[in-house]
Each structure stands twice: as structure tokens, then as C-alpha cells.
Chain A
Amino acid sequence: MDKVTRLASENGLVLFSKSSCCLCYAVKILFQEIGVTPTVHELDQDPEGREMERALMRLGCSAPVPAVFIGGKLVGSTNEVMSLHLSGGLIPLLRPYHSMC
């Protein structure tokens, strides 16, 4: 729990992912298209990956990855990020933490 919370608050935009996960890859592409760079933690490459997965599930994520945190707060998975972006809410949320062109 702590590691996830700690990592989540270290940067403005944090993405928990797995290198083999294609949906996570889609979320990375989305951020790229918007012009922001998330801090990515690949759980399959982290020795404590399993524990972090469980922690993320406990936080309420239906799937452990992809999990997006903005300003230390959990935004959600692909569904939530897409909805937020289409409603126009994603970019304003990111603005304090990222200089965007």
C-alpha cells in the first residue's frame, strides 16, 4: 500500500502499467497524443510488483493496470481516463503538473 501511495505522490502524472499490457500501451499513447509524459512504473519489472497489484486492487481498481494517478489521487483505469478526456476534464486536471504546449 505504502509503496503505491508513495510512488503515486512523487509526480504529477503517474501510471502503473505492465510492459506486456496492450491496454496500458494505449493509455501511454493517449498521453503522448495530448503532449504529456507520465511517470511509468512497470509492475512486471518491479520486485514488489505482486504486492503493488494487490494494493491497487484494494484501492478500488477493477484491474490493477493501467492505473492513473494525478496529483497523488487515483483517477482510475482506461474507462475513467477516456471519459475524463472526452468530457474535456483531463487536460485541465493535468495543467498544474505539466507544462503543455
Chain B
Amino acid sequence: MDFPSTQFVPSRIMGTYQPIHQIGMWGENFKSIGNPSISASVIVEVDNKLENESETASHEMPAPSCKHDQEASKPFDKIQRRLAQNREAARKSRLRKKAYVQQLESSRLKLMQLEKELEQAREQGLYIGGGLEAGHLGFSGAVSPGIAVFEMEYKHWMQVQNRQLGELRTALNAQISDIELRIVVENGMSHYFELFRMKSTVAKADVFYVMSGTWKTSAERFFSWIGGFRPSELLKVLVAQLDPLTDQQIFEVCNLKQSCQQAEDALSQGMEKLQETVSATLAAGQLGQGTYFPLVAMAMEKLEALVCFVNQADHLRQETLQQMSHILTTRQEARGLLALGEYIQRLQDLSTLWATHPREPA
């Protein structure tokens, strides 16, 4: 575009002032309106959608005319520069607004999810009070300090997990040495072992809490097997990401899959036996005569074994991860851990999507 060198006429003097809802910025929507004899005439409009910059811009607007008087030599450059700054500021402002709106949207989704989970927790009688105050003990639900502590720790665990996944991603893309990668991998593995320790502690306080998986999202719970993922499921997710494997590795992974499946079946059948035992104990004697407390007490004794099963299931998960780390190279293990972490993230996203997906009213 050809600009006249020094002439500048503010729009109001021109008398062709455009309503402020119009068009765009100088340089983007240059319009020379009206009198062709005034070659220097320009209409400068400020984009009214500018948020932070509209005031600055309107303050800026009269200034060029002053500057025109004071610095006759290069008002045009200053105008150009200032308008370019305006454009840049406007662009940044638009980006900030967009980011803010996106943040609001995701917070809204999160809030809906949290409200839903709170509702579910209340229904299940697992109301965790506003803290650990004993005053919240009520008949409708019990405050368990063990559970409250676990939930706090798990939240922190998830944050660290997400951070570590980022580190894994970066490490795999960068050219770092095997030793450095080993450290990242070891951190990832220890982190999972830490979770198993946390679960073991809270299982002693309330094994039903661990069995219900309340601290997890709904899609994760869908896949729950004795308080967590099936070890064979973990293997499936890991192995799918690991081509190419050597023949030796394929052989070892195959064996691991088989042993894992057998151990899983054994525990599953043990759990079924436990259910039968508790059920048979409760149903003993005559039903319909009112509750018979000694039977209930006996059933509870049998139920104690549930803690052992939950611990065994976690032990199996841990052993599966350990064995994989013996079979795989450091790099493969890193990819496997990343794959597993992302799989869990996708499950969590699925839960959120499900919760916010509009549905037909019942």
C-alpha cells in the first residue's frame, strides 16, 4: 500500500467519522473515504473489540495529531509503530481472553464432575466431612481419618504422576543417556510402588473403600478387579507399545502373560469362594426370624480375609511391573510406563466426557 508521506488528518476533522462499531484497524482495513483530492486522508478506526487496549488506543488516537505538529519529520513512523503495538497488544489480549475462557470451561466441567462424585459419595454413606473434625461423625456416614489421608495423598500422587509422564515424554524425545533415562524410569516405578503402599495402609482401615475404588474416576472403576487394574490388562497395554521385541523378549513376555493369568484366575476363584463363604454364613439358620447377631459376627470374621486378597492383588500388580522391568530395556520400559500413564489419563478423560455428555432425562 502506498502511504502519503506526512499528511495525516484525524477523522473528526475530516467529518467523515465512522461509527465505532465498524471495520478493523489501520493497515488491515485501510479505507480512503470521500474526497479524492485529499490524498492524505485516512480514517483510522480502532477495533472496538479490543478489551484492554481500547482505552489506550483511544488515548493514542488524538496524539498523532499533536505529534504531527511537534515532530513534523517522522510522525508517520511513530504512528506506524504505535499502531503496530496496538495490533500486537490486541492480539495478545484476544489470546489471553481465549485462554481464560478455556480455563473457565474446563473448570466448569471439573466442577460438575466433582459435584457428581460428591453426590455419589454421599449416597454411598462415605461422606468425608469438611476435614477430620470428629464433630462430623453422624449415623449417615462415618469419617475415617485413614480415608481422608489417603484421598489427600492420592490427589498429590496424581499430580506427581502427571509431572512424571511429562518428564518421560521429554526424556524419550531428547537424546539423553541410558543412565539418565534409567533414573526417570526408576522414579516412575517407585511411584507406582508408593501407591501400593498407600493402598495397603488404607485397606487395613477400610477394605471396602479400596474394593469400591471411590477415589478413582468412573471409567477406571469399570475395569476394577479386586481394587485395581487386572495385571493381565496392565500387560496388554504395556506390550502393545513395545515393538520391536527380540525373540527372547517375546518368549519371556509370553511366559509372564501366562503366569500372570494363572495367578489372576487363582485369586478370582479364591474371591468367589470368599463370597460363597460369607453368604453361606449369613444365610445359615432360619431367615425371616430377625437378625441373628452371632452369624453376622461370624461372617465378619470370614470377611477379614478380604484384606489379604486386596493385598495379594496389589502384590500381583507390583510383581508384574517388576518382571516387565527385568525383561525390557530401559528405553522400552520408559515407553511402557508412558503408555500406561497415558492409558489411565484417557480413562479419566472418558469419565469426564461421560459425566458431562448431555443425556435424555430418565
Contacts and interface: CB of A to CB of B under 8 A. Distances in A.
A45 interface: no
A99 interface: no
A85 B312 CA distance: 14
B308 interface: yes
A20 B269 CA distance: 14
A47 interface: no
A9 to B, nearest CB: 26
Interface stretch (B198-206, B241-249, B260-268, B352-360): B260-268
Given A79-B312, A86-B259, A22 B265 contact: no
Contact of A30 (B262, B274, B302): B262
A26 B320 contact: no
Nearest to A83: B319
Interface string B284-308: 0000000000000000001001001
A85 B319 CA distance: 10
A27 B266 CA distance: 7
Given A29-B269, A86-B263, A22 B305 contact: yes
Given A20-B277, A23-B309, A23-B312, A85 B270 contact: no
Given A25-B269, A25-B270, A33-B266, A86 B320 contact: yes
Contacts of B302: 20
A39 interface: no
Interface residues of A, number: 21
B271 interface: yes
Given A22-B274, A25-B269, A34 B312 contact: no
Interface in A7-26: 20-23, 25-26
Contacts of A63: 308
Interface in A23-46: 23, 25-27, 29-30, 33-34
A34 B315 CA distance: 20
Interface of A: 20-23, 25-27, 29-30, 33-34, 63, 78-79, 82-83, 85-88, 90
Given A22-B270, A82-B315, 8 more contacts: A22-B271, A22-B277, A23-B309, A25-B269, A26-B267, A26-B273, A85-B262, A86-B323
Interface of B: 252, 255-256, 259-260, 262-263, 265-267, 269-271, 273-274, 277, 302, 305, 308-309, 312, 315-316, 319-320, 323, 326
The 3 closest A-B pairs by CB, nearest first: A26-B270, A30-B266, A22-B274
